[in-house]
Structure 1
Amino acid sequence: MKTQTFIGAISGLLVAGLGVARGDVANFVGGGLLISNTIAITGKKDPENVQPSPAPTVNPQPVTRVYIDGANTLGSINLLKFDIDFNAFADHIANGEDNVIFNYYYAVLESPNRKQNGFIKYLENNGYNVVQSLKKQLPEGNHKNKGDDVQIATDIAIDANENDHIVLVSGDGDFTYSLEKVKAKGCHVTVISTSECLSKQLKSVADKFIDLAEIKPDIQRYTKPRQSSPQPQLV
Protein backbone atom coordinates (compact mmCIF):
# COMPACT_ATOMS: atom_id res chain seq x y z
CA MET A 1 0.00 0.00 0.00
CA LYS A 2 2.87 2.37 0.85
CA THR A 3 4.60 1.53 -2.43
CA GLN A 4 1.49 2.42 -4.45
CA THR A 5 1.14 5.69 -2.50
CA PHE A 6 4.79 6.54 -3.21
CA ILE A 7 4.44 5.84 -6.96
CA GLY A 8 1.21 7.84 -7.08
CA ALA A 9 2.89 10.79 -5.41
CA ILE A 10 5.80 10.74 -7.86
CA SER A 11 3.42 10.53 -10.83
CA GLY A 12 1.38 13.39 -9.44
CA LEU A 13 4.49 15.58 -9.10
CA LEU A 14 5.51 14.82 -12.67
CA VAL A 15 2.07 15.65 -14.01
CA ALA A 16 1.60 18.79 -11.95
CA GLY A 17 5.13 20.22 -12.03
CA LEU A 18 6.45 19.21 -15.43
CA GLY A 19 3.34 19.04 -17.60
CA VAL A 20 3.31 15.35 -18.57
CA ALA A 21 1.32 14.80 -21.75
CA ARG A 22 1.38 11.02 -21.89
CA GLY A 23 3.19 7.82 -20.83
CA ASP A 24 2.96 8.19 -17.03
CA VAL A 25 2.86 4.44 -16.45
CA ALA A 26 5.31 3.34 -13.76
CA ASN A 27 6.33 -0.06 -12.53
CA PHE A 28 8.20 -1.04 -9.44
CA VAL A 29 10.85 -3.58 -10.43
CA GLY A 30 13.38 -5.10 -8.02
CA GLY A 31 12.98 -2.33 -5.47
CA GLY A 32 13.48 0.45 -8.07
CA LEU A 33 11.14 2.71 -10.04
CA LEU A 34 10.96 2.05 -13.84
CA ILE A 35 9.16 4.46 -16.17
CA SER A 36 7.98 2.19 -18.96
CA ASN A 37 6.79 4.75 -21.56
CA THR A 38 8.33 7.93 -22.90
CA ILE A 39 7.25 11.10 -21.11
CA ALA A 40 6.55 14.09 -23.32
CA ILE A 41 7.06 17.34 -21.46
CA THR A 42 5.34 20.51 -22.60
CA GLY A 43 7.10 23.82 -22.51
CA LYS A 44 9.61 25.74 -24.64
CA LYS A 45 10.97 23.96 -27.73
CA ASP A 46 14.64 23.29 -28.16
CA PRO A 47 15.85 25.77 -30.81
CA GLU A 48 17.94 23.04 -32.42
CA ASN A 49 14.84 20.91 -33.04
CA VAL A 50 12.67 23.66 -34.54
CA GLN A 51 12.03 22.89 -38.21
CA PRO A 52 12.46 25.83 -40.61
CA SER A 53 9.41 27.05 -42.49
CA PRO A 54 9.14 25.61 -46.03
CA ALA A 55 10.36 27.89 -48.80
CA PRO A 56 7.60 29.64 -50.73
CA THR A 57 6.56 27.92 -53.96
CA VAL A 58 8.10 29.56 -57.00
CA ASN A 59 6.31 29.38 -60.34
CA PRO A 60 8.33 27.35 -62.88
CA GLN A 61 10.17 29.23 -65.59
CA PRO A 62 7.95 29.85 -68.63
CA VAL A 63 8.20 27.25 -71.37
CA THR A 64 7.39 27.47 -75.07
CA ARG A 65 5.25 24.42 -75.84
CA VAL A 66 4.73 23.60 -79.53
CA TYR A 67 1.89 21.27 -80.58
CA ILE A 68 1.87 20.21 -84.24
CA ASP A 69 -1.29 18.70 -85.66
CA GLY A 70 0.41 16.46 -88.22
CA ALA A 71 -2.62 15.74 -90.38
CA ASN A 72 -3.77 19.37 -90.53
CA THR A 73 -0.24 20.63 -91.19
CA LEU A 74 0.21 18.13 -94.01
CA GLY A 75 -2.91 19.50 -95.67
CA SER A 76 -1.58 23.05 -95.36
CA ILE A 77 1.83 22.35 -96.86
CA ASN A 78 0.27 20.30 -99.67
CA LEU A 79 -1.81 23.37 -100.47
CA LEU A 80 1.35 25.48 -100.54
CA LYS A 81 3.23 22.75 -102.46
CA PHE A 82 6.33 22.43 -100.30
CA ASP A 83 7.86 20.16 -97.67
CA ILE A 84 8.95 21.32 -94.21
CA ASP A 85 12.50 20.98 -93.00
CA PHE A 86 11.63 20.21 -89.38
CA ASN A 87 15.12 21.02 -88.18
CA ALA A 88 14.83 24.49 -89.73
CA PHE A 89 11.28 24.79 -88.40
CA ALA A 90 12.44 24.08 -84.85
CA ASP A 91 15.21 26.68 -85.16
CA HIS A 92 12.75 29.23 -86.52
CA ILE A 93 10.23 28.73 -83.71
CA ALA A 94 12.81 28.52 -80.91
CA ASN A 95 14.58 31.66 -82.16
CA GLY A 96 17.56 31.02 -79.90
CA GLU A 97 15.57 29.98 -76.81
CA ASP A 98 16.48 26.78 -74.99
CA ASN A 99 13.28 26.19 -73.03
CA VAL A 100 11.19 24.91 -75.96
CA ILE A 101 9.32 21.58 -76.20
CA PHE A 102 8.18 20.28 -79.60
CA ASN A 103 5.33 17.76 -79.83
CA TYR A 104 4.33 16.24 -83.18
CA TYR A 105 1.05 14.30 -83.34
CA TYR A 106 1.22 11.69 -86.04
CA ALA A 107 -1.44 9.19 -87.08
CA VAL A 108 -0.03 5.85 -88.25
CA LEU A 109 -1.42 2.63 -89.61
CA GLU A 110 -1.76 -0.36 -87.33
CA SER A 111 1.36 -1.73 -89.02
CA PRO A 112 3.50 1.33 -89.84
CA ASN A 113 5.32 1.04 -93.14
CA ARG A 114 8.98 1.82 -93.73
CA LYS A 115 8.25 5.39 -94.84
CA GLN A 116 6.27 6.18 -91.68
CA ASN A 117 8.92 4.68 -89.42
CA GLY A 118 11.59 6.67 -91.20
CA PHE A 119 9.65 9.92 -90.76
CA ILE A 120 9.13 9.26 -87.03
CA LYS A 121 12.86 8.59 -86.62
CA TYR A 122 13.66 11.78 -88.51
CA LEU A 123 11.46 13.84 -86.17
CA GLU A 124 12.89 12.24 -83.04
CA ASN A 125 16.45 12.87 -84.25
CA ASN A 126 15.56 16.56 -84.56
CA GLY A 127 14.28 16.83 -80.97
CA TYR A 128 10.56 16.23 -81.44
CA ASN A 129 8.39 14.23 -79.07
CA VAL A 130 6.27 12.14 -81.42
CA VAL A 131 2.80 11.24 -80.12
CA GLN A 132 1.23 8.52 -82.24
CA SER A 133 -2.43 7.82 -82.79
CA LEU A 134 -4.16 5.23 -84.91
CA LYS A 135 -5.07 5.83 -88.54
CA LYS A 136 -8.15 3.73 -89.20
CA GLN A 137 -8.85 2.32 -92.63
CA LEU A 138 -12.39 2.87 -93.86
CA PRO A 139 -14.32 0.29 -95.95
CA GLU A 140 -13.95 2.34 -99.15
CA GLY A 141 -10.18 2.31 -98.76
CA ASN A 142 -9.62 5.79 -97.34
CA HIS A 143 -8.11 6.45 -93.92
CA LYS A 144 -9.38 8.42 -90.94
CA ASN A 145 -7.32 9.65 -88.02
CA LYS A 146 -8.66 8.47 -84.69
CA GLY A 147 -8.14 10.39 -81.45
CA ASP A 148 -5.32 12.76 -82.41
CA ASP A 149 -7.34 15.96 -81.85
CA VAL A 150 -8.39 14.75 -78.40
CA GLN A 151 -4.76 14.00 -77.53
CA ILE A 152 -3.62 17.46 -78.58
CA ALA A 153 -6.39 19.35 -76.78
CA THR A 154 -5.89 17.31 -73.60
CA ASP A 155 -2.13 17.73 -73.56
CA ILE A 156 -2.39 21.48 -74.11
CA ALA A 157 -4.74 21.84 -71.16
CA ILE A 158 -2.69 19.60 -68.83
CA ASP A 159 0.81 20.82 -69.72
CA ALA A 160 0.25 24.57 -69.68
CA ASN A 161 1.52 26.63 -66.76
CA GLU A 162 1.10 30.33 -66.10
CA ASN A 163 3.10 32.52 -68.53
CA ASP A 164 3.91 29.62 -70.88
CA HIS A 165 3.90 30.29 -74.62
CA ILE A 166 1.59 27.84 -76.39
CA VAL A 167 2.23 27.41 -80.12
CA LEU A 168 -0.40 25.45 -82.02
CA VAL A 169 0.44 24.42 -85.60
CA SER A 170 -3.06 23.81 -86.91
CA GLY A 171 -6.01 25.71 -88.30
CA ASP A 172 -8.65 23.42 -86.79
CA GLY A 173 -11.35 25.29 -84.91
CA ASP A 174 -11.88 22.33 -82.57
CA PHE A 175 -8.92 23.60 -80.51
CA THR A 176 -10.55 26.97 -79.77
CA TYR A 177 -11.95 25.94 -76.38
CA SER A 178 -8.65 24.45 -75.21
CA LEU A 179 -6.76 27.63 -76.15
CA GLU A 180 -9.32 29.78 -74.34
CA LYS A 181 -8.69 27.78 -71.18
CA VAL A 182 -4.89 28.15 -71.28
CA LYS A 183 -5.22 31.87 -72.00
CA ALA A 184 -7.29 32.13 -68.83
CA LYS A 185 -4.28 30.62 -67.01
CA GLY A 186 -2.13 33.48 -68.26
CA CYS A 187 -0.54 31.80 -71.29
CA HIS A 188 0.40 33.55 -74.53
CA VAL A 189 -1.02 31.78 -77.61
CA THR A 190 0.37 31.65 -81.17
CA VAL A 191 -1.34 29.81 -84.03
CA ILE A 192 0.54 28.75 -87.16
CA SER A 193 -1.40 27.68 -90.26
CA THR A 194 -2.41 28.97 -93.67
CA SER A 195 -5.01 31.68 -94.16
CA GLU A 196 -7.03 29.29 -96.32
CA CYS A 197 -7.15 26.55 -93.65
CA LEU A 198 -7.54 28.74 -90.55
CA SER A 199 -10.73 28.70 -88.50
CA LYS A 200 -12.08 32.18 -87.68
CA GLN A 201 -12.77 31.13 -84.09
CA LEU A 202 -9.22 29.86 -83.68
CA LYS A 203 -7.75 33.07 -85.09
CA SER A 204 -9.90 35.18 -82.78
CA VAL A 205 -8.53 33.49 -79.64
CA ALA A 206 -4.87 33.63 -80.73
CA ASP A 207 -2.60 36.44 -79.55
CA LYS A 208 -0.57 36.02 -82.74
CA PHE A 209 -1.10 34.30 -86.10
CA ILE A 210 1.76 33.18 -88.35
CA ASP A 211 0.99 32.24 -91.93
CA LEU A 212 3.00 29.27 -93.18
CA ALA A 213 3.17 30.94 -96.57
CA GLU A 214 5.12 33.85 -95.06
CA ILE A 215 7.74 31.69 -93.32
CA LYS A 216 7.98 29.17 -96.15
CA PRO A 217 11.45 30.38 -97.32
CA ASP A 218 12.84 29.82 -93.79
CA ILE A 219 11.41 26.35 -93.18
CA GLN A 220 11.26 24.79 -96.64
CA ARG A 221 13.08 21.53 -97.26
CA TYR A 222 15.09 21.74 -100.41
CA THR A 223 16.03 18.61 -102.33
CA LYS A 224 18.78 18.41 -104.83
CA PRO A 225 17.44 17.92 -108.36
CA ARG A 226 18.20 14.57 -109.84
CA GLN A 227 21.00 14.59 -112.38
CA SER A 228 19.67 13.49 -115.69
CA SER A 229 21.65 11.08 -117.80
CA PRO A 230 23.76 12.80 -120.45
CA GLN A 231 22.01 12.91 -123.79
CA PRO A 232 23.84 11.13 -126.57
CA GLN A 233 25.18 13.53 -129.17
CA LEU A 234 24.24 13.04 -132.75
CA VAL A 235 27.21 12.72 -135.07
Structure 2
Amino acid sequence: MARTITESDRRERQNSSALDTMLLAPSDRVGLFIDGFHLHAACKALDIPIDFKRLLDLFRDRAHLVRALYYTIITDERDCVLRPLLDWLDYNGYTTVRKHAKADCELSRRTAKSSMMVEVAVDIMQLAQSLDHIVIISGAGEFRRLVEMVQINGKRVSVLSTVATRPPMVSDELRRQADQFVDLADLESDIRR
Protein backbone atom coordinates (compact mmCIF):
# COMPACT_ATOMS: atom_id res chain seq x y z
CA MET A 1 0.00 0.00 0.00
CA ALA A 2 1.38 3.39 -0.99
CA ARG A 3 2.08 5.85 1.78
CA THR A 4 0.13 9.11 1.61
CA ILE A 5 2.22 12.27 1.93
CA THR A 6 0.84 14.31 4.80
CA GLU A 7 0.96 18.05 5.41
CA SER A 8 3.54 17.35 8.11
CA ASP A 9 5.77 15.58 5.54
CA ARG A 10 5.50 18.57 3.22
CA ARG A 11 6.47 21.00 6.00
CA GLU A 12 9.40 18.82 6.98
CA ARG A 13 10.70 18.78 3.40
CA GLN A 14 10.28 22.54 3.10
CA ASN A 15 12.16 23.02 6.37
CA SER A 16 15.04 20.76 5.35
CA SER A 17 18.25 22.38 4.32
CA ALA A 18 21.09 21.49 1.99
CA LEU A 19 23.12 21.37 5.20
CA ASP A 20 20.99 18.44 6.36
CA THR A 21 22.94 16.33 3.89
CA MET A 22 26.25 17.60 5.30
CA LEU A 23 28.20 15.13 7.34
CA LEU A 24 27.48 16.94 10.62
CA ALA A 25 26.63 15.16 13.84
CA PRO A 26 25.28 17.00 16.90
CA SER A 27 28.44 16.07 18.83
CA ASP A 28 30.80 17.32 16.08
CA ARG A 29 33.07 20.19 17.05
CA VAL A 30 32.90 22.51 14.04
CA GLY A 31 35.03 25.43 12.93
CA LEU A 32 33.62 27.86 10.34
CA PHE A 33 36.20 29.80 8.31
CA ILE A 34 34.73 32.49 6.04
CA ASP A 35 36.55 34.31 3.25
CA GLY A 36 34.45 37.46 3.57
CA PHE A 37 35.27 38.84 0.14
CA HIS A 38 34.39 35.53 -1.51
CA LEU A 39 31.13 35.13 0.43
CA HIS A 40 30.08 38.67 -0.46
CA ALA A 41 30.94 38.20 -4.16
CA ALA A 42 29.19 34.81 -4.37
CA CYS A 43 26.03 36.03 -2.65
CA LYS A 44 25.99 39.15 -4.82
CA ALA A 45 26.33 37.04 -7.99
CA LEU A 46 23.53 34.76 -6.74
CA ASP A 47 21.42 37.76 -5.66
CA ILE A 48 21.18 36.46 -2.09
CA PRO A 49 21.29 39.14 0.61
CA ILE A 50 22.91 37.23 3.45
CA ASP A 51 21.67 37.06 7.03
CA PHE A 52 24.76 36.36 9.12
CA LYS A 53 22.75 35.39 12.18
CA ARG A 54 20.89 32.73 10.20
CA LEU A 55 24.20 31.50 8.74
CA LEU A 56 25.66 31.10 12.22
CA ASP A 57 22.48 29.44 13.51
CA LEU A 58 22.63 26.88 10.66
CA PHE A 59 25.78 25.45 12.22
CA ARG A 60 24.88 26.06 15.87
CA ASP A 61 21.64 24.12 15.40
CA ARG A 62 23.34 21.10 13.83
CA ALA A 63 26.60 20.73 15.77
CA HIS A 64 28.83 22.22 18.45
CA LEU A 65 30.19 25.36 16.76
CA VAL A 66 33.58 26.01 18.36
CA ARG A 67 34.53 29.08 16.37
CA ALA A 68 33.27 31.16 13.43
CA LEU A 69 35.95 33.35 11.86
CA TYR A 70 35.28 35.99 9.21
CA TYR A 71 38.31 37.19 7.23
CA THR A 72 38.37 40.43 5.28
CA ILE A 73 40.68 42.94 3.68
CA ILE A 74 40.22 46.55 4.74
CA THR A 75 41.13 49.59 2.70
CA ASP A 76 40.53 53.14 3.90
CA GLU A 77 37.54 53.48 1.57
CA ARG A 78 36.10 50.04 2.46
CA ASP A 79 36.66 50.54 6.17
CA CYS A 80 33.73 52.91 6.55
CA VAL A 81 31.48 50.64 4.45
CA LEU A 82 32.41 47.43 6.29
CA ARG A 83 32.69 48.80 9.82
CA PRO A 84 28.98 48.34 10.75
CA LEU A 85 29.02 44.74 9.47
CA LEU A 86 32.32 43.89 11.17
CA ASP A 87 31.17 45.44 14.45
CA TRP A 88 27.93 43.46 14.27
CA LEU A 89 29.83 40.24 13.56
CA ASP A 90 32.21 40.90 16.49
CA TYR A 91 29.28 41.33 18.88
CA ASN A 92 27.25 38.39 17.57
CA GLY A 93 29.36 35.26 17.70
CA TYR A 94 31.95 35.78 14.99
CA THR A 95 35.63 36.57 15.31
CA THR A 96 36.72 38.98 12.59
CA VAL A 97 40.24 38.93 11.19
CA ARG A 98 41.14 42.08 9.28
CA LYS A 99 44.08 42.83 6.99
CA HIS A 100 44.82 46.36 5.87
CA ALA A 101 45.70 47.25 2.28
CA LYS A 102 46.18 50.56 0.54
CA ALA A 103 43.17 51.55 -1.53
CA ASP A 104 45.19 52.94 -4.43
CA CYS A 105 47.55 50.03 -4.94
CA GLU A 106 46.46 46.83 -6.68
CA LEU A 107 49.70 45.13 -5.62
CA SER A 108 48.93 45.95 -1.99
CA ARG A 109 45.46 44.38 -2.29
CA ARG A 110 46.88 41.22 -3.89
CA THR A 111 49.55 41.00 -1.20
CA ALA A 112 46.90 41.47 1.50
CA LYS A 113 44.73 38.73 -0.11
CA SER A 114 47.70 36.33 -0.15
CA SER A 115 48.49 37.28 3.43
CA MET A 116 44.85 36.71 4.40
CA MET A 117 44.96 33.22 2.92
CA VAL A 118 47.98 32.52 5.12
CA GLU A 119 45.98 33.75 8.14
CA VAL A 120 43.15 31.35 7.28
CA ALA A 121 45.57 28.45 6.83
CA VAL A 122 47.37 29.16 10.10
CA ASP A 123 44.09 29.44 12.02
CA ILE A 124 42.79 26.19 10.54
CA MET A 125 46.01 24.34 11.38
CA GLN A 126 46.01 25.80 14.90
CA LEU A 127 42.36 24.97 15.62
CA ALA A 128 42.22 21.63 13.76
CA GLN A 129 43.30 19.63 16.79
CA SER A 130 40.17 20.74 18.67
CA LEU A 131 37.77 20.25 15.73
CA ASP A 132 36.07 17.28 14.09
CA HIS A 133 34.75 19.14 11.06
CA ILE A 134 36.15 22.18 9.27
CA VAL A 135 33.85 24.27 7.08
CA ILE A 136 35.49 26.67 4.65
CA ILE A 137 33.47 29.28 2.79
CA SER A 138 35.79 30.11 -0.08
CA GLY A 139 36.51 29.09 -3.63
CA ALA A 140 40.28 29.55 -3.60
CA GLY A 141 42.14 26.62 -5.11
CA GLU A 142 45.14 27.54 -2.96
CA PHE A 143 43.33 25.91 -0.03
CA ARG A 144 43.37 22.47 -1.69
CA ARG A 145 46.64 21.36 -0.08
CA LEU A 146 45.52 22.68 3.32
CA VAL A 147 42.31 20.65 3.03
CA GLU A 148 44.34 17.58 2.14
CA MET A 149 46.60 18.02 5.18
CA VAL A 150 43.77 18.32 7.70
CA GLN A 151 42.05 15.33 6.10
CA ILE A 152 45.22 13.29 6.57
CA ASN A 153 44.94 14.16 10.25
CA GLY A 154 41.42 12.72 10.41
CA LYS A 155 39.33 15.88 10.02
CA ARG A 156 36.33 16.19 7.72
CA VAL A 157 36.23 19.26 5.50
CA SER A 158 33.25 20.84 3.79
CA VAL A 159 33.53 23.68 1.31
CA LEU A 160 30.71 26.14 0.70
CA SER A 161 30.83 28.21 -2.48
CA THR A 162 28.95 28.14 -5.76
CA VAL A 163 29.04 26.54 -9.18
CA ALA A 164 25.72 28.19 -10.06
CA THR A 165 27.49 31.23 -11.53
CA ARG A 166 29.33 31.44 -14.83
CA PRO A 167 32.19 30.96 -14.37
CA PRO A 168 31.92 28.91 -11.16
CA MET A 169 33.31 30.71 -8.10
CA VAL A 170 35.02 27.64 -6.65
CA SER A 171 38.09 25.95 -8.05
CA ASP A 172 37.53 22.44 -9.28
CA GLU A 173 40.58 21.22 -7.31
CA LEU A 174 39.21 22.53 -3.99
CA ARG A 175 35.76 21.11 -4.67
CA ARG A 176 37.17 17.67 -5.50
CA GLN A 177 39.43 17.61 -2.43
CA ALA A 178 36.69 18.48 0.07
CA ASP A 179 34.79 15.69 1.76
CA GLN A 180 31.67 17.58 0.79
CA PHE A 181 30.78 20.58 -1.33
CA VAL A 182 27.62 22.56 -0.61
CA ASP A 183 26.48 25.18 -3.09
CA LEU A 184 25.46 28.47 -1.50
CA ALA A 185 22.59 28.62 -4.01
CA ASP A 186 21.13 25.54 -2.30
CA LEU A 187 21.24 27.36 1.05
CA GLU A 188 19.34 30.41 -0.17
CA SER A 189 16.24 29.80 1.93
CA ASP A 190 18.45 29.23 5.00
CA ILE A 191 20.69 32.29 4.73
CA ARG A 192 18.59 34.90 2.92
CA ARG A 193 17.92 38.09 4.86
Give TM-score, length-normalised by structure 2: 0.75
2:67 partner amino acid: I
Select which of 87, 90, 97 maps to 1:124. 90
Select which of 102, 113, 120 maps to 1:136. 102
Cα deviation, residue 135, structure 1: 2.8
Give TM-score, length-normalised by structure 1: 0.62
Match status 1:189 vs 2:161:
no
Where does the alignment leave 5 or more consecutive residues of structure 2 unmatched? 1-26
Conserved in 1, the CA contact under 8 Å of 2:29 and 2:63?
Answer: no
Which residue is 1:89 aligned to? Answer: 55
Q: 1:159 to 1:136 in 2, by over 3 A?
A: same
Cα deviation, residue 62, structure 1: 5.2
User: Identity of counterpart residues, as a percentage?
Assistant: 31
SS at match of 1:137: coil
Conserved in 2, the CA contact under 8 Å of 1:84 and 1:219?
Answer: yes
Conserved in 2, the CA contact under 8 Å of 1:138 and 1:144?
Answer: no
Which residue is 1:168 aligned to? Answer: 136
Q: 1:218 to 1:62 in 2, by over 3 A?
A: closer
Where does the alignment leave 5 or more consecutive residues of structure 1 unmatched? 1-60, 222-235
Residue pairs, 1:58-137, within 5 angstroms: 63-110=29-76, 113-137=79-103
Q: 1:117 to 1:157 in 2, by over 3 A?
A: same
1:210 partner amino acid: V
* Cα deviation digits, residues 67-91 of structure 1 (max 9, x gap): 0001111111111112210000011
CA distance in structure 2 between the partners assigned to 1:161 and 1:129 by the alignment: 19
More helix by share: 2
Cα deviation, residue 112, structure 1: 6.2
- Quote the RMSD (CA, aligned, Å): 2.4
Which residue is 1:216 aligned to? Answer: 188
SS at match of 2:181: strand
Aligned length: 161
